Structure 1
Amino acid sequence: MDQRSSARNRIESLLDAHSFVEIGALVRSRSTDFVQEGKKEATDGVICGYGSISGKPVYVYAQDGNILSGSLGEMHGKKIAQLYDMALKMGAPVLELLDSSGIRLEEATDSLFALSRIYEKKAKAKGLIPLYSVVYGQAGGAMAVLASLSDFSFMENKDGRLFLNAPDAVKGNKNDDFAKAKAQEEAGNLDFSGTEEELITEIRKAFSFLPANNEDEAYNEDVEDNLNRAVDGFFTMPAREALSTLSDEGEIFEVRRAYGEGAVTAFLRLNGQTVGGIATTGEALHWKAVVKMNRFLRFCNSFSIPVLTLCDTPGFENCSCNEMHMTKEMGELLSAYGNASVPLVTLVKKAVGSAGACLGSKGLGADLVFAYPESEISVMDAKLAANILYPDETLEDREEKAKQFLEEKGSAKSAAYRGYIDAIILPEETRQRVISAFDMLYGKANFDFHKKYGSI
C-alpha cells in the first residue's frame, strides 16, 4: 500500500473486492463567495458509497485530504448526511474514514450547518446501527467530536492525529504527542491503533463479530470448536487469557484495551454466538475501568448481545481520584446493569465488598451466577473483618476467626446456601456451562413499560 493512500484506495482495501459502488461522485461546492472556481472539484473532498465487508453490507465515506484538504463544506456535509439516511433505511453500519483539516472556512456558516446535520444523523443512528470511525490523517476540532460519536474508533499510528485544539494552540504545549495514537488510546478515545494493514485486519474482525443493526443476530454458523472443550487452569487465568480461552477458536475482538486496564472488555464467540465479555483483572477497581465497562455494557444491551461478566475484584482502589469520580461512574454502571434486558451470566472468582456486588451480581438482575469451589464472596476481606469483630483477641485467635469468617460468610458455599449463587462449578467445565446457560436464555424478554432514559 502507498505510504499515504488515497481516499479511494482506503475504501477499496477495506471493502470486499469490487463491491464498492460510489454515489454523489459529481457533487461540487456551490459556494460563490470565497471558493475559487478552479477549486470546485468533483466529490467536494469526500467519497461516499456502499459495499460489503466479509459479505456484510456497509455504507462508507472517506475524506480526501488531497481535495481542499478534506475540509467539510456544505455539499461535503450534505453527502455524508444523506449517506446516514440511506444506512438507517437499510439497517447497515456506517464506516467513516477521516482525513480532514476541519470546517471549510470559505463556506462559513453553511459548513457549520452541514456539520450539525451530520451530528444529528449520527446521534439518531446510535443504538440502531454500529458506527465506526477510522482516523487516517488529521481529525481536529469538529472532526474529533464527530469521531467520538462512533461506537468504535481506530487510528493509523503514523500520520493519524486526533485533537480538539491544534497542538500548537494548546497553552503550554510544545509538541503534538497528545494527538498521536498512543496518547489517544491511553485516554480512552480509541479502540485500536496500528498500520493501515493492521487496521484492515482489526476492522474486518469487528465486522465478523458484530451485527449489522440492533435487530440483527450476531451469529457464526461455521463453528468447528468443541462446545464441551475443557478449559484447564481457568480459575487462575488472567482476565484477557480467560476470555480468549472461552471463545471459539480462541479469537476475541477487544475494545479500549489501553484504557481502564483493571478490566477487559471484548466480544467473544460461544458456539457461534457473539457474547460481550466483561472481565475484571483481580486488581482493586479504578474508576476508568468502570467507565470502560459501562460503555461496553450499554452497547451490548442496545444491540441485543448477551453479556458474560467475570468478576474478580478485592474492592475499590483507595486513591483520591476514585474519591472524586467512582461514585458517579459506578452509578452509571449500576444503571446499565439494572436496566439491561439481554441475557446476563456471571462467573465469580472473587467478589469482595460493594465493588463485587456491582459486577453482575444476582441482586442486580443477573440471570445465572456461577462460582468455583475456591471463590470468595464476602462483605470484606476476612482478616479485616476479624480485626473489627474481635479487636481484643490475640493475633493467633484473630487469624482463626478470619478462617471461620471466610468459611461461614465469605465462601462460595455460604453464598449458594443463601441463593446468591446458582451453582458451584469446576473451572475446567466453564465453557460448557456458560454455553448451556446462554442457550437456555435465548429469547429472553424483559418488559420495560415503555421506559425511555433514566436520569443518568
Structure 2
Amino acid sequence: MVGSTQEKLDELTKILEIAAEPAGESAVAKRAKKNIPSVRSRVTTLLDPGTFFEIGALARQPGKNDAMYGDGVVTGHGLIEGRPVVVIAHDQTVYGGSVGEMFGRKLTKALQFAFEKACPVVTINDSGGARIQDAVASIAWFGHMSRVQAKLSGYVPQVSIMLGKCAAGAVYGPINTDVLVGTQNAYMFVTGPEVIKAVTGEDVSAEDLGGAEVQARRGVIHHVTDTEQQAFDWARTYLGYMPSSCLEQPPLVNPGLEPEITASDRELDRIIPDSDRSGYDMHEILLRIFDDGEFHEIRAAFAPNLITGFARVDGRTVGVVANQPLVLGGSIDAACSDKSTYFIRLCDAFNIPLVFVADTPGVLPGVEEENNGVIIRGGRVPRAIIEATVPIINLVVRKSYGGAYGMMACKQLGADISFAWPTARIAVIGAESAVDLIGRRQLMAVPEEHRAAARDFMINQYNETVATPWVAAERGYIDAVIEPSRTRLEIRHALRLLRDKHPVSQEFNPRKHSLYSM
C-alpha cells in the first residue's frame, strides 16, 4: 500500500534533518572542538538574511547505502545587498570537504548556473583536496570544474573565502578566482608539511608553509581578517564595487555628494613635503580625492610600494593604482608590476575606470630585481594599460621618472586625461642622478671646495627648468596642471566626460592574439 501524504511529508522532514547534519553528532563535536560554525551557518552569515536557497542537499554517492548527503559541499544561491549570487561552501565534516564525484557534479552545476544567469560566485573554502577513495573520479571532476570556472573568469566576479584548510588540488580553484580573502587560521598549499618532510626531508609547519599571512605577503591571498565575520563582510564590500557581470555597470552609490571644494580638499594643497626626499602616506591623498573617504584596498600586504584598490567617484566605482612613497620610495619593482598588471586587467574586465596616482622615482635598480625578472614582469604593465578599454585618468602628484612614467599610465600610453600638480617632477631621471651623469665633467672643473655648492646649484637648476610640470604641459604631454584642492572635482568632471567611452575600432589585424613574455 502506498503511504499517505502525511507519511511522505514525515519522511521528507526526516531526510532533510539528516541532510542538514550528514555526519551527525560527530560533526557537531568536531566543530565544537575547533570552535567553528556549521557550513550552512557560514552561508547564511554571508548572504542577506533569509535569502539562501540550497540546491543538491540530497545528492550523495550512488550505490552506497552509507553515503552521506551533500557529499562534502553545499551549493545554492541567494542575495548580497539585494543582488543574486551563487554560493559554494565546503563541508569539512563530510569526507573532510574533499572532492568526490557528486561533489564535482554539484559544484560544476552551480558554476554553470552562474554562467547562464550572469551572477557572481562566492566560494567558502575548507577542503582537503581530492578524495583518495574516489580515485580517478575525483581528479577527473577537477578537470570538469576547471573548464566551467574558466568560462566565468572576466565574465562574472568570483570571490574565494579561505576558512581553515585548503590543500592539494583544492588550491587551484581559488587562485583562479578574482580575489581571495582568508582568516588568520586559514592556510593553503599544494603539498602539506607531512608530504614535504617525507619527500624532501624539510621540516616546516603548516603556518610557515602556507599560512594566511604568509600567502598574503606572497600575493596569493588578497586580504587577511581576524574573524570569519570580517571575511564575509570584506567579500560583501568587494562585490558592492563590482557589477554582477561584465554585461552590466557597477552599482551607483550616493552620487552628487560634496559638489564644491571642502576643507578636506584644501588639505591637499599642503600635503606634499617641500623636500623630495621626505616621505608621506599616499593613503592620505587617496582618502581625500574620492567619495566619502572610502577606499577598499586589495593585496595590501603584497608589494606595498604600490597601492591597488577600489573607491568611488560621483557614486561610481573606480579602480585605483597609486605609488606608496613610504615603501622603497614608491619605486616600481617586479612584484608590484605583477600586482598592477593583474589589477588593471581585473578592472578592465568589469568596466571599471582606472585612476593612476603617480609619485615614483622609477624602476627599482639592483641585481636582485634583475634576477626577479623585473624586465619581463615590468614590461607587462604598459601592455595591460594599452589593452585596457575603460576610461583612464593619470595624476602626477610628485615624481614620475623614467620607465615608471609609462607604468603609471602616462597620456602617451593610454590615459584619456592626464593631470599634474604644481609639485610634479616629470623627467627621465631625478635631478641628483642627472647631475651626476651629465654634469660630471662640469663639476670636475670646479675647485673641490666649491664642488658641493656647484652640485646643489645644478640640481636646483634641473628641478626648476627640466623636471617640471610646465615643460610637460607646454608640449601637451599632460592635459592640465591643477590645484591639488581641485583634484576630487576635476576627476569627477573627467569621468563624467568619459562615461560613454567606447573602444576605438582598430585597423584589421589577422593575428589570433598578442603574446606575453615568459
Q: TM-score range by the shorter chain?
A: over 0.9
- Cα distance in 2 for partners of 1:217, 1:104 equals 40
Matched, 1:161 2:221: no
> What does 1:118-197 align with in structure 2 at a 5 Å threshold?
118-158=145-185, 160-170=186-196, 171=200, 172-177=202-207, 178-194=209-225, 195-197=227-229
- Cα distance in 2 for partners of 1:327, 1:95 equals 35
Matched, 1:291 2:325: no
Matched, 1:356 2:405: yes
Residue in 1 that maps onto 2:251: 219
Code of the aligned partner of 1:175: S
Code of the aligned partner of 2:172: V
Matched, 1:329 2:383: no
> What does 1:370-381 align with in structure 2 at a 5 Å threshold?
370-381=419-430
Residue in 1 that maps onto 2:459: 402
Matched position secondary structure for 1:305: coil
- Cα distance in 2 for partners of 1:375, 1:416 equals 11
Structure 1 residue ranges without an equivalent (≥5): none
After superposition, the Cα gap between the structure-2 partners of 1:103 and 1:56, relative to the gap in structure 1 and judged at 3 Å, is same
Checking the alignment, whether the CA contact within 8 Å between 1:61 and 1:96 is kept in structure 2 is yes
Q: CA deviation at 1:179?
A: 1.8
Checking the alignment, whether the CA contact within 8 Å between 1:228 and 1:431 is kept in structure 2 is no
Matched position secondary structure for 1:135: strand
Q: Deviations over 1:226-281 (max 9, x none)?
A: 14344233353622232222222111211111001100001000110000000011
Residue in 2 that maps onto 1:453: 513
Matched position secondary structure for 1:363: coil
Q: Match for 1:440 among 478, 494, 497?
A: 497
Residue in 1 that maps onto 2:86: 59
Code of the aligned partner of 2:53: V
> What does 1:336-347 align with in structure 2 at a 5 Å threshold?
336-347=384-395
- Cα RMSD (Å) of the superposition? 1.7
Matched position secondary structure for 1:315: coil
Q: CA deviation at 1:399?
A: 2.9
Q: Deviations over 1:22-51 (max 9, x none)?
A: 111111113x5xxx642x111111111000
Code of the aligned partner of 1:185: A
Residue in 2 that maps onto 1:13: 45
Code of the aligned partner of 2:84: P
- Cα distance in 2 for partners of 1:420, 1:432 equals 21
Q: CA deviation at 1:184?
A: 1.0
Q: CA deviation at 1:135?
A: 1.3
- Cα distance in 2 for partners of 1:383, 1:101 equals 55
- Cα distance in 2 for partners of 1:104, 1:339 equals 41
Checking the alignment, whether the CA contact within 8 Å between 2:120 and 2:245 is kept in structure 1 is yes
Matched position secondary structure for 2:423: strand
Matched, 1:44 2:84: no
Residue in 2 that maps onto 1:239: 282
Q: CA deviation at 1:223?
A: 4.0
Code of the aligned partner of 1:316: V
Q: Which has the bigger relative contact order, CA under 8 A and spacing at least 6? A: 1
Matched position secondary structure for 2:424: strand
Q: Tell me the matched-pair count.
A: 450
Q: Match for 2:486 among 426, 429, 432?
A: 429
Q: CA deviation at 1:224?
A: 6.6
Q: CA deviation at 1:59?
A: 0.2
- Cα distance in 2 for partners of 1:128, 1:229 equals 38
- Cα distance in 1 for partners of 2:129, 2:252 equals 39
Matched position secondary structure for 1:120: helix
> What does 1:108-123 align with in structure 2 at a 5 Å threshold?
108-123=135-150
Matched, 1:411 2:468: yes
Matched position secondary structure for 2:378: helix
Matched position secondary structure for 1:373: coil
Structure 2 residue ranges without an equivalent (≥5): 1-30, 273-279
